[in-house]
Amino acid sequence: MVDASWDNGGYGQPARTGMPTWAKVLLGCGVAAVLALATCVGGAALLATRLSHTVNSQEWSQFRTVVDELQTDAGAKAVYAGNPGLATDFPTESDFLKAVADWRPRLEPLPAVMPSVFTGRISYQMRIHNGPHARQVELRYRNDKGAWTVSRWEDGRLVALDVR
């Protein structure tokens, strides 16, 4: 008599190919985790860049205003009168005006927009120190003549100025 069973005893079944299901799930979770991490890190970097650019732009405009005022004696007198911290390096107004007169041949107006790090030359440096009692900012700019204009600010007031 003929066997009526459809069971072939495991013979002739195709072998499984490809990744198992658990590996596919694990790979999908890994890709999702990498995308989430990249999005968070990228967003944080973008936010930090925009915030620092806003702060730097405020500092740059103050620095630019001072350099513009140094072009005339009346402007230099206003800078000295408005920033009593300069008296440490320049005890009298005439000392300050004499120093400014020596600097003028090397001074140039600063760009309206703060220089970018992508310009190809290092022409701008900023150091910010937020201490417990005062906020200190040091700004340096090298113009096309090669002169560095250096300023130091404490709590928004100019306390040191030099052109090297």
Rounded distance between C-alpha atoms, residue 28 and residue 30, angstroms: 5
> pTM, whole model, 2 decimals?
0.66
Residue-wise pLDDT tens digits, 6-64: 766 666 666 677 888 888 888 888 888 888 888 877 776 666 555 555 556 788 899 99
The beta strand positions in 16-156, using DSSP E, are: 124-130, 135-142, 148-154
CB-based contact 127:39 (threshold 8 Å): no
Please give the pLDDT value at position 2: 61
The beta strand positions in the chain, using DSSP E, are: 124-130, 135-142, 148-154, 157-163
Instruction: Give residue 121's pLDDT band: very low, low, confident or very high (50, 70, 90).
Output: low
Domain chopping of the chain, boundaries: 57-163
Instruction: Give residue 80's pLDDT band: very low, low, confident or very high (50, 70, 90).
Output: very high
Residue 5 exposed, middle or buried by CB count within 10 Å (0-12, 13-18, 19+): exposed
With a pLDDT cut of 90, the percent of the chain lying above it is: 42
